[in-house]
Amino acid sequence: MLRSAAHRGPRKGADRRGFGRLRKERSGRWSAAYTGPDAVLYRAPQTFDAKDDASAWLSAERRLIEYDEWVSPVERRGQQVARGLSLESYARQWLEDRVLKRRTREHYRSILERQILPDLGSITLASITPTTVRQWHARLGNRTPTLRAHAYGLLRTILGTAFDEELIKSNPCHVRGASATRRVRPIQPATLDELATLVEALPEKYRLLVLLATWCAMRFGELAELRRSDIDMTTGVIRVRRAVTRLGGETMIGTPKSSAGVRDIVIPPHLLPIVAEHLRVHAPGHDDLLFPSAKGGHLSPSTLQKPYERARAAAGRPDLRFHDLRHTGAVLAAATGATLAELMARLGHSSVGAAMRYQHAALDRDRAIAEALSRMVTT
């Protein structure tokens, strides 16, 4: 009767030991293998001329386990690669492998070239320690806190990928709070009176632009690409599906800044007559831009700059940047009692891990927010 493999005697040429096993092959050379802490059988990457050499390999592996320094051969090979791979080489390949919007790619490339690689580029991945990162972060200084936070966040993401790919034992980015950004100055929202003066001081063709930037909390890039076909006057809804960006003098049409930016916004009722009149005068065609440049293309921020600066001065708010109008709109909407999820949905704004949770906010509730916004003006 045949015995099961578990009850057979040792294979011919095998040497059973307390740890691992040795085997003399037909070639006369010795092979070695052992079961690792992860219960996986690992074999020596080569055979040995002498039994003592194979035994020494097993002893070295056992010592690593006993001193809690053992890693799998796969991780070990990654670490060996990392010992010879510079951060510059890895980071450049990391950037090439990412699917990114062009503007985001150029932003990352600029950070790498100016903030990260000059100091850290020549250092191998395996040589970058928490101290290395902390000292580099300190040398960046506090003059540009947002850029500093972005640089640290990018480095942490790159090295996080290296860790996931088992090129390094751990991510050395441990500077607490380094990814957080603090505003250099607090944003002071515009009051209703300031907003009214600001709008009145603008050329007529730009008034709705500012009103939508505020009451609908839209980004400039979304407004610059807004077309008549995106406005449903029957339901009073703006469908935000695209945005325009500029890079190196080139205009590019793409999706909004984030996935949450694709949204429907209910127009506050008090704006609907103004919207209707603007469409009649400035965008009669189905696919016309609502706010075209003088030559019919996309409006650029530089074109708007001078008339907007004059208008904000007239309102007594020379500090009010165009993007601050969006912040003003968020504050006004919050004053209606809108929940955080409803505000995030209306603004098309997402945070890490939250984008999908904010997508479910109901359009009916957004309509209530829009109506409450109008009551601020009419009451």
Which pLDDT belongs to residue 355? 32
- Whether residue 265 is predicted with pLDDT greater than 80 in this model: the reply is yes
Claim to verify: residue 142 and residue 221 sit in the same structural domain: no
Amino acid 356: pLDDT: 35
Report in angstroms the alpha-carbon separations of 264 from 231, 240, 251, 288: 10, 6, 24, 19
- Judge if 334 and 228 occupy the same domain: yes
The answer on 319 and 248 residing in a single domain is: yes
* Distances 11 to 24, 39, 141 between C-alpha atoms, Å: 10, 21, 66
32 and 113 in a single domain? The answer is: no
Rounded to whole angstroms, the Cα distance separating 22 from 34 reads 9
What are the two backbone dihedrals, phi and then psi, of residue 67, each rounded to the nearest 5 degrees?
A: -95, 10
| Residue 160: band (very low, low, confident or very high) from pLDDT cuts 50, 70, 90 | very high
Residues that are catalytic = 219, 323, 326, 349, 358
Give yes or no for a contact between 34 and 21, defined as CB atoms under 8 angstroms apart: yes
> Residue 344: inside a domain, yes or no?
yes
DSSP per-residue codes, 93-107: HHHHHS---HHHHHH
Same domain, 374 and 272: yes
Q: What is the predicted pLDDT for the residue at 349?
A: 63
Give me the number of domains the chain comprises: 3
Other CB atoms within 10 A of residue 151 CB: 23
Instruction: Classify 247 as helix, strand or coil.
Output: strand
Cα 304 to the chain's mean position, in Å?
Answer: 29
**What is the reported pLDDT for 375?**
86
Tell whether 114 and 63 lie within a shared domain: no
Q: Closest Cα partner for 332 from 320, 317, 347?
A: 347
Structural domain of 98: 85-164
Residue 308 in tokens: 């907007």
Domain-terminating residue out of 70, 93, 112? 70
- Asked if pLDDT for residue 222 goes beyond 90, the answer is yes
Residue 139: give its domain's CATH number. 1.10.150
Number of H helices, E strands in the chain: 16, 9
pLDDT at 100: 85
- Tell me what the mean pLDDT of segment 341-355 comes to: 63
Q: Which residue has the tokens 């890490």?
A: 352
Asked if the structure places residue 102 within a domain, the reply is yes
Is residue 23 domain-shared with residue 146, that is, in the same domain?
no
Q: At what angle do helices 301-314 and 204-215 cross, to 10 degrees?
A: 80
> What tokens does 255 get?
């999706």
**Cβ neighbours for 166, distance < 8 A, ≥ 6 positions apart:** 74, 75, 78, 79
Judge whether residue 73 has pLDDT over 90: no
| Averaged pLDDT, 277-291 | 95
**Residue 180 within a domain:** no
Q: What is the pLDDT of residues 7-38, one digit of tens each?
A: 344 445 555 567 899 999 989 999 999 998 98
Shared domain for 155 and 302, answered yes or no, is: no
Q: Is residue 109 very low, low, confident or very high in pLDDT (cuts 50, 70, 90)?
A: very high
Q: Are 79 and 168 in contact (CB under 8 A)?
A: yes
The reply to whether 174 falls in a domain is no
In a domain, 182, yes or no: no
What contacts 95, CB < 8 A, 6 or more positions away?
Answer: 105, 108, 109, 112
Q: Tell me the β-bridge partners of 254.
A: 243
pLDDT tens profile 119-151: 999 999 989 999 999 999 999 988 888 899 999
Could you tell me if 196 and 257 lie in one domain? yes
Amino acid code (one letter) for 110: S
Could you give the strand order of the β-sheet that contains 231-232, starting from the edge strand earlier in sequence?
231-232, 237-240, 263-266
The Cα 353–Cα 258 span in angstroms is 13
**How far, in Å, CA of 144 to CA of 165, rounded?**
32
Both 100 and 202 in a single domain?
no
CA angle 223, 363, 371 (to 5 degrees): 75
d(CA 360, CA 226): 24
Asked if the model's pLDDT at residue 378 lies above 80, the reply is no
> Do 153 and 41 belong together in one domain?
no
Q: Which of 164, 182, 216 is the last residue of a domain?
A: 164
DSSP 4-64: PGGGSPPPTTEEE-SSSEEEE-TTS-EEEEEE-TTS-EEE-SS-BSSHHHHHHHHHHHHHH
**Which CATH number does the domain housing residue 267 bear?**
1.10.443.10
Residue 319: inside a domain:
yes
Say if 273 falls within a structural domain: yes
DSSP string, 325-364: HHHHHHHHHHHTT--HHHHHHHHT---TTTHHHHTT--HH
Statement to judge: residues 66 and 119 lie in one domain: no
